[in-house]
Structure 1
């Protein structure tokens, strides 16, 4: 195998998924090979997903455990090197593997965040207080214990509960007078039994050498495979929660690409509908650019995001910065060191009329050693510091979540005032949805329109979009 013909990208997949089809298309569009390292899929998908990955990729390895470890990544890179592959960079959208991606890129000589930064960033308790100390957040957080739970409830103020190391909205909810420690124990039990999500809540990921990370206690659980470099380090499957001051205001996200400590806000999404349910927060409807912010408020948000990234020392990568805006200004929800979920990347593509966020993240890695040309293109797509954007497009997307029950019928509704540019139905008749503290995605639909027409189109599209995916459940048994 010639090195030139073997130039490719290493993709890390969690249980066989993690946007693999989207990532594969992004890689092949650049004429590059696809090398996939995946953890073992869930039992339901073990018969189909490895074969599907093999159809997508030029080389695939599926491990024997449900979670990838540092040794898995090192061994697979050794294998690719032995077969003559030229791995240009590593990429994953699964936040639980973001530190493994950084580890691989360090070995490959690709500028990226380092492992320690990412693991520290995933410690939401420390990060919240660090930003508060810097004057960039008005909220503070404390470890949640039975004692602090009772104290906060006696105070009667608004607080929010979330896992210290979490992902998506699993186990996040507003604190109420009715919240009990048993509720936290129930969510912890669900996390333990959830094959997909269990590892992201652990408080001991076991890097190959804990000293390399300054003794930091947060990462993904290690596989017990007998050859694990983490052997001898106890894996803690406990879920630790924090309680933080409730951040008021309307919710937004900034989609950011950072190259050599220079951040570029490619898009700003406004969450038009957010449902705070028991055990989770559902983000239902999202529009970009925001409809409720002035140019000056967007500019202030861009400046605030740059300050947050600077204080945290985040000089490379793709970030989904979730924030709230109130009359008092901007405040943080979370900094996610990855592309946003659901239809964030296709929304960016619809806004730019070209590259989506996955494209931009991959290109930032491929050009990281000589970024001048990429930076010029990135700047032309991004918001200016004064809050303006060159894009004449606007987007709106709705995410649908399934209720517990058995699905009888599900499908897209063609009778809509504007036809979508992306439609995805993720469940099918016969699927059984269990009650859980994490969201169960049913599907998602994205629309694009001229920005000049948006304020006219949205009032009709918003209510109509609620029927974009129609679902019927089996009658509940008595």
Structure 2
């Protein structure tokens, strides 16, 4: 490979928004280099070739999970080939610390590996922000003893993995929750080829068994103090899965899409999760609108100040973050801080909102200009929310995510009877796919609409219910 600028992309099992990322790199006249872990068996014949069509150089490792050695070795290979790697990027949260490691070697300003692992430790993060007065809740490691205590104290609590992804194993604690439930969810996590290594901040390659449904075609969503491994720890070489129990955070749910440049955060978008379903074993985020419909500019401004304080306490100087929060009359409180772009259609929603760059575009440009960020910072500021809670954009967006039920799919496709034409539509499963019961979301598809912000309040009441039928699906048998 000739000596020219390139971007290193880290792919998990052959996916992780590779088409979108490679397109963004190519559009900037740069070369694309992809390091991917081994795809699931069903994709091992097809996916490496698809990556080769996207990229200038591809390496697929023999294991399902990338390691620091894999990254270092591939960088050595590219350097020996005369390639100047300008930065590294991944949307898979389980590889975010590897991205940080690569950028440190390349001299690109980014969060460091230790910071990433601290952000992914939701137990310590919650209590750190509570100590700083930025969260009213606290968290504890979930053990049989703390489960019994919280279940009987008459208050609302929430259970989630200490380090997890895609809402797998996140649910409200009820009087019926048992330790056997946690054992079952932990066993599912350990046996899931795609997600297993995301449930620890010290990954061990997971077992070879794959999940029947394929989140690789769907949206990517990315050490704890005293936490006890659920379901009695390691099994068959797979990582332990640790859970926490925390005070329930009430209120409506939002996400802040933040790009931080040299210690200065910019809120590019605020999404309101206008439908959230707390199902057994997971939380499904069904639909989002941006800008929010239920917040005043003053409440949005208070949210921006709160997010800025959170990022300041956590010493976040660089990067793209998806900060999930809830708002109620008492103010703002944290769900979690994700050191990556939001999953689903968050990135294209930002493009539709700004009328220009997607969130992936902005993150890539942040990395490419990090050594001399002045011009990028000015551009970012022109796109972002102002301190008073207003946005310069004349646009509004709405998107809906669809989740599959257990069963065999007979027919699936996009409806042609919608009141507004989508700007993005994706159907991620196909006839013949078998969806098993699981404690994680199984994506079926997603659809994004854009409208003039001035017309949104007139359009949205009709679009919201109509959008529920945007993807039509028929199962061979009734979903179990």
Give the TM-score taking structure 1 as reference length. Answer: 0.93
Deviations 1:2-46 (A, max 9, x none): 42xx21100000000000000011111101000000000001111
For 2:324 and 2:479, how far apart are their aligned partners in 1? 41
| Preserved CA contact (<8 Å) 1:205 1:235 | no
Q: Does 1:458 align with 2:480?
A: no
Q: Does 1:288 align with 2:273?
A: no
Q: How far off is 1:194 after superposition?
A: 0.2
How is 1:402-441 mapped onto 2 (pairs within 5 angstroms)? 402-441=404-443
Secondary structure of the structure 1 residue equivalent to 2:125: helix
For 1:351 and 1:414, how far apart are their aligned partners in 2? 24
Q: How far off is 1:414 after superposition?
A: 1.1
Secondary structure of the structure 2 residue equivalent to 1:244: strand
Deviations 1:271-329 (A, max 9, x none): 00000001100000100000000000000000000000000011100000000000000
Secondary structure of the structure 1 residue equivalent to 2:305: helix
Q: Give the root-mean-square deviation of aligned CA atoms.
A: 1.4
For 1:476 and 1:354, how far apart are their aligned partners in 2? 43
Give 1:70's aligned residue: 68
Deviations 1:424-464 (A, max 9, x none): 00000110001000000000000000000000000000000
Q: How far off is 1:476 after superposition?
A: 4.8
- Change over 3 Å in CA distance of 1:477–1:321 after alignment to 2: closer
How is 1:252-263 mapped onto 2 (pairs within 5 angstroms)? 252-263=254-265
For 2:348 and 2:378, how far apart are their aligned partners in 1? 22
Gaps of 5+ in 1: 207-215, 219-233
Q: How far off is 1:477 after superposition?
A: 10
Give 2:340's aligned residue: 338
How is 1:150-165 mapped onto 2 (pairs within 5 angstroms)? 150-165=148-163
Q: How far off is 1:204 after superposition?
A: 2.9
For 1:43 and 1:176, how far apart are their aligned partners in 2? 38
Q: Does 1:149 align with 2:151?
A: no
Give 2:96's aligned residue: 98
Give 1:45's aligned residue: 43
| Preserved CA contact (<8 Å) 2:406 2:479 | no
For 1:236 and 1:441, how far apart are their aligned partners in 2? 24
- Change over 3 Å in CA distance of 1:249–1:75 after alignment to 2: same
Secondary structure of the structure 2 residue equivalent to 1:84: coil
| Preserved CA contact (<8 Å) 2:407 2:479 | no
Query: How many residues are treated as equivalent by the alignment?
Result: 452
What stretches of structure 1 move > 4 A for 4+ residues in a row? none
| Preserved CA contact (<8 Å) 2:277 2:284 | yes
Q: How far off is 1:238 after superposition?
A: 1.2
Secondary structure of the structure 1 residue equivalent to 2:9: strand
Give 1:89's aligned residue: 87
Q: How far off is 1:205 after superposition?
A: 3.4
Q: How far off is 1:168 after superposition?
A: 1.5
Q: Does 1:178 align with 2:204?
A: no
| Preserved CA contact (<8 Å) 1:349 1:356 | yes
| Preserved CA contact (<8 Å) 1:203 1:240 | no
For 1:369 and 1:64, how far apart are their aligned partners in 2? 35
For 1:275 and 1:73, how far apart are their aligned partners in 2? 38
| Preserved CA contact (<8 Å) 1:204 1:235 | no
